[in-house]
């Protein structure tokens, strides 16, 4: 039997590089002819070569819609007609909209919408931005045969917003976009921590509150800085932020109005070797207002760090409250400060919680186990009848 063609479509090449690594190669080695559609950058060319997949240059703008997207829609239809995939997997709002419309003209046997998060949650209810994003998500999910949600919280929220059908929205395993490679994100050793701290001019007695991710308002960065302002006088407390700044957030300006936090906070740009930066932290904090399933929380736990996060969609799913970390309400600055103090004052600084978190990630978020579930779903999609059975069984 010849390999089954499957096409993945994303808006931004970064999504493929961050969340499809290993998965595409696994599928190729297990009976699938894998195609990837996005802007074909040099990084994507190298990625496609390593994964053994075929890249198609379909560029999408980050704006709501543009003439480029109209041309890209036409190109997407052309790719579908030429590749004739049995399975189409699209994710991220813009790619989901363009490729869901394209699938009306050339329909694969199985169309999968991979729901990684809900941007609509960052908008005021039923204002123009909310309505537009809601419509984009609705079209993408209703066009798909099945919507795969990366967490239970995300699925529940999408159902509440009437974006997905209850009998056609599923979670594979415990969720997540691509699992966590625990061979890359290993338990932090004492030697590794010492080396990392020397490189950042930190001492062993310093207590480092760490954050990895976009520096953006919807990530709760201002809440974190407010919490650091409250606990900044604790001896040896430091805050290290790692990530790229979004246009709607100015870190320098945010720190200028928080003088105590400014004295203990430092920033590093996003890095491909993010696993090394976790070695500097004592606790990982993600005060996000919305997520799908936080990869950073899973990575931090894999490195053996205790975690503090919020009850926002997709955040609490990533940890086990009271076992591998703490959960506070979205926007609860006092709660964040209290949790940070609790870890810093604990006799083991949360090391026991960190071990529990790593064990949980190893058990529930193994990448290969997740990839195998995708392969089973895709094989079932070879016929429409089998697809219907798969969805109904869940």
Q: 3-state secondary structure string, 346-365?
A: CCCCCHHHHHHHHHHHHHHC
For residues 232-249, one letter each, b for 16 or more C-beta atoms within 10 angstroms of the residue's C-beta and e for the rest, the string is beeeebbbbbbbebeeeb
| Whether residues 360 and 371 fall in one domain | no
- Could you list the beta-strand ranges (E) of the chain: 4-9, 32-38, 54-57, 87-91, 110-115, 146-149, 169-170, 207-212, 237-242, 265-268, 283-286, 307-310, 325-328
| Whether residues 140 and 231 fall in one domain | no
272 occurs within a structural domain: yes
| Whether residues 232 and 275 fall in one domain | yes
Query: Measured between alpha carbons, how far is 312 from 217 in angstroms, rounded to an integer?
Result: 14
184 occurs within a structural domain: no
| Whether residues 80 and 97 fall in one domain | yes
Domain with residue 137: its CATH number is 3.40.50.2000
Report whether pLDDT(385) > 60. no
User: At 119, is the pLDDT very low, low, confident or very high (cuts 50, 70, 90)?
Assistant: confident
Q: Is 329 left (phi over 0), alpha (psi -120 to 50) or beta?
A: beta
236 occurs within a structural domain: yes
- What domain range includes position 145? 4-179+366-393
Query: Measured between alpha carbons, how far is 65 from 207 in angstroms, rounded to an integer?
Result: 46
DSSP 309: E
Residue 98 CB contacts under 8 Å (≥ 6 apart), including other chains: 9, 60, 69, 72, 73, 76
Q: What is the pLDDT of residues 121-148, one digit of tens each?
A: 877 777 888 898 899 999 999 999 999 9
Read off the tokens for 136.
């984009």
Query: Measured between alpha carbons, how far is 124 from 103 in angstroms, rounded to an integer?
Result: 31
| Whether residues 54 and 114 fall in one domain | yes
- 93 DSSP β-pair partners: none
Query: What pLDDT is attached to residue 110?
Result: 94
- Mean pLDDT score, 323-349: 93
Helix intervals (H) in 23-66 = 23-29, 42-51
| Whether residues 198 and 333 fall in one domain | yes
Asked whether the beta carbons of 256 and 263 are under 8 A apart, the reply is: no
More confident residue, 353 or 383: 353
Q: What is the pLDDT of the chain when averaged over all its residues?
A: 91
Query: Measured between alpha carbons, how far is 124 from 121 in angstroms, rounded to an integer?
Result: 8
Q: What is the pLDDT of residues 8-42, one digit of tens each?
A: 999 999 999 999 999 999 999 999 999 999 999 99
| Whether residues 153 and 205 fall in one domain | no
| Whether residues 360 and 370 fall in one domain | no
Query: What pLDDT is attached to residue 243?
Result: 93
Q: Give the side-chain half-sphere CA count within 13 A for 166.
A: 1
| Whether residues 236 and 204 fall in one domain | yes
74 occurs within a structural domain: yes
Report whether pLDDT(248) > 90. no
Query: What pLDDT is attached to residue 68?
Result: 78
The domain total for the chain is 2
105 occurs within a structural domain: yes
User: At 380, is the pLDDT very low, low, confident or very high (cuts 50, 70, 90)?
Assistant: confident
Report whether pLDDT(234) > 50. yes
- Mean pLDDT score, 268-276: 88
Q: Which helix (H) or strand (E) holds 297?
A: helix 295-302
Query: What pLDDT is attached to residue 266?
Result: 94
Q: What percent of the chain has pLDDT over 90?
A: 80
| Weakest-pLDDT range from 1-15, 56-70, 170-184, 269-283 | 56-70
Report whether pLDDT(393) > 70. no
185 occurs within a structural domain: no
Query: What pLDDT is attached to residue 384?
Result: 55
Residue whose structure tokens are 């699992």? 179
| Whether residues 39 and 84 fall in one domain | yes
375 occurs within a structural domain: yes
Query: Measured between alpha carbons, how far is 226 from 255 in angstroms, rounded to an integer?
Result: 10
| Whether residues 72 and 207 fall in one domain | no
User: At 246, is the pLDDT very low, low, confident or very high (cuts 50, 70, 90)?
Assistant: confident
217 occurs within a structural domain: yes
| Whether residues 285 and 381 fall in one domain | no
User: At 348, is the pLDDT very low, low, confident or very high (cuts 50, 70, 90)?
Assistant: confident
């Amino acid at each position: 039997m010849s390999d089954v063609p499957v096409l993945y479509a994303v808006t931004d090449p970064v999504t493929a590089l961050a969340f499809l690594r290993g998965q595409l190669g696994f599928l190729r080695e297990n009976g699938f002819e894998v195609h990837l559609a996005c802007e074909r950058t040099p990084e994507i060319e190298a990625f496609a070569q390593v994964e053994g997949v075929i890249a198609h240059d379909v560029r999408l703008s980050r704006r709501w819609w543009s003439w480029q997207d109209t041309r890209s829609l036409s190109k997407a239809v052309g790719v579908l007609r030429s590749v004739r995939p049995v399975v189409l997997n699209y994710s991220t709002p813009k790619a989901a909209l363009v490729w869901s419309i394209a699938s009306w003209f050339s329909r694969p046997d199985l169309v999968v919408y991979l729901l990684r998060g809900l941007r609509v949650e960052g908008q005021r209810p039923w204002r123009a931005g909310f309505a537009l994003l809601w419509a984009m998500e609705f079209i993408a999910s209703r066009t798909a045969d099945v919507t795969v949600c990366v967490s239970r919280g995300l699925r529940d929220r999408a159902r509440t917003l009437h974006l997905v059908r209850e009998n056609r929205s599923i979670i594979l395993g415990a969720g997540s976009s691509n699992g966590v490679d625990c061979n890359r994100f290993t338990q932090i050793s004492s030697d590794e921590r010492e080396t990392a701290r020397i490189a950042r001019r930190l001492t062993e007695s310093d207590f480092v509150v760490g954050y990895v991710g976009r520096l953006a308002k919807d990530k709760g960065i201002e809440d974190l800085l407010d919490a650091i302002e409250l606990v900044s006088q604790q001896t040896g407390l430091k805050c290290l932020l790692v990530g790229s700044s979004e246009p709607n957030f100015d870190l320098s300006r945010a720190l200028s109005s928080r003088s105590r936090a400014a004295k203990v906070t430092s920033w590093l740009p996003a890095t491909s070797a993010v696993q090394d930066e976790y070695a500097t932290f004592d606790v990982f904090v993600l005060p996000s207002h919305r997520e799908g399933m936080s990869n950073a929380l899973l990575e931090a736990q894999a490195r053996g760090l205790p975690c503090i996060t919020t009850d926002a969609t997709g955040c609490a799913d990533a940890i086990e409250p009271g076992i591998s970390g703490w959960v506070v309400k979205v926007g609860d600055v006092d709660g964040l400060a209290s949790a940070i103090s609790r870890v810093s004052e604990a006799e083991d600084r949360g090391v026991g919680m960190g071990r529990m978190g790593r064990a949980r990630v190893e058990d529930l978020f193994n990448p290969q186990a997740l990839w195998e579930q995708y392969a089973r779903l895709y094989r079932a999609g070879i016929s429409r009848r089998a697809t219907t059975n798969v969805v109904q069984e869940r």
